[in-house]
Amino acid sequence: MFWPEKISEKLNIQYPVIQAPMFGVSTPEMVAAANGASCLGSLAIADLSGDSSVQLIRETKKLTALPFAVNIFVHKIPEMTDALKEQYVKTKKFLEDFAGKNEIEVRLPNLNEIKVNSYHEQIDAVLEEQCRIVSFTFRNIDDKSIQKLKENGIVLIGTCTSVEEAVQLEKSGIDLICVQGIEAGGHRGSFEVENIPQIGGFSLLSQVYDSVNIPLIYAGGIYNARTIRAAKDLGAEGFQVGSILLASQESALQDFEKERLENVREKDIVLTKSFSGRYARGIKNTFIETLENSAYILPYPYQNKLTGALRKAARNNKNADFVNLWLGQSIHQYSKSSAEEILRDLIRSCE
């Protein structure tokens, strides 16, 4: 039998294939489609408020009666110092001027208009909605929250980008670990904001397998049967896929963004902090080239909140040079079929 069984049994799914939680790309419809392929759908609620999280969970429940993971951002909120306030004002002005020069009319929020949410709101939402699986990224959940979730029978999936992070997750009682290589698309799941571990996925997976005793899910560069088989041979018992679903029918990406995927080349894909203040892998464009290594990148989540309105305006204008298009390093033909069909094809090719 090709598929390992531990994670399938733990998550009550037929195949240990997980649709990656891609905030801004994945949708309740994508979660339901993944579940329809007998895989695990993942609902990304990132750092939404508790009320917004509940609303999105309920929308997803209307589309699928099967279990799905709810994914949250466990980020550290930086202290609001006078220096950060000053930097915010300067960055806001620069971005508004930069947008205007590129014919994008937008008003960015003042600092007092931004609400930064703690992940504890989302944990309350998860408990209220009786979700059964929670995955998380950026750090580990605090001990009290871990205890509260486990007392309610919730399976916890942490994310690591180094052996050290994996060991910390195991010691704290996390059930499953998603091992994320540097080639994975989107935000790095590193506990660090600066000096993030830049370790290739398969090298990391093999080392983590030798260092912990709980089942591993691998994420980063998986797009066909060969990459799944390689991850399996290195110790993965679950396989998280994201980039292969970017152009799917259920993806939230617009047509002009999906068309950009058709022409992407190796050298176009970079790690950048420019949009969010945390490293993420995506397609290089004018915004990234201008902002990266500049004095106009605030710490996460303030940069992310500040640039949100600009990205929305750029999408309305179908301007690919001012939107974040996160993408992993494994370039392939991005299917426009349904996510369910894409995942079923992947499963068939493995078997």
d(CA 79, CA 264): 38
Stretch 20-25: mean pLDDT: 97
How do strand 186-187 and strand 280-283 relate by DSSP bridges?
A: antiparallel
Would you state the pLDDT for residue 249?
98
Cα separation, 38 vs 13, in Å, equals 6
pLDDT in tens, 91-145: 999 999 999 999 999 999 999 999 998 899 999 999 999 999 999 999 999 999 9
Phi, psi of 180 (to 5 degrees): -110, 115
What is the domain partition of the chain in residue ranges?
A: 1-77+116-250+333-351, 79-115+265-326
For 264: left if phi > 0, alpha if psi spans -120 to 50, otherwise beta; the answer is beta
For residue 76, the model assigns a pLDDT of 86
Mean pLDDT for all residues in the chain: 96
Nearest CA to 45 among 12, 71, 75, 7?
71
pLDDT digits (tens, 9 = 90+) for 289-336: 999 989 999 999 999 999 999 999 999 999 999 999 999 999 999 999
Task: Give the contacts of 227 (CB within 8 A, at least 6 positions apart).
Answer: 221, 330
Within 10 angstroms of residue 65's Cβ, the number of other Cβ atoms is 8
Rounded Cα distance between 224 and 160, Å, is 23
Q: Which CATH architecture has domain 1-77+116-250+333-351?
A: Alpha-Beta Barrel (3.20)
Closest CA to 98 of 325, 313, 326: 313
Residue 1: pLDDT over 90: no
Backbone φ and ψ for 134, nearest 5 degrees, come out as -125, 125
Render pLDDT for 30-79 as a digit per residue (tens, 0 to 9): 999 999 999 999 999 999 999 999 999 999 999 999 999 999 999 888 98
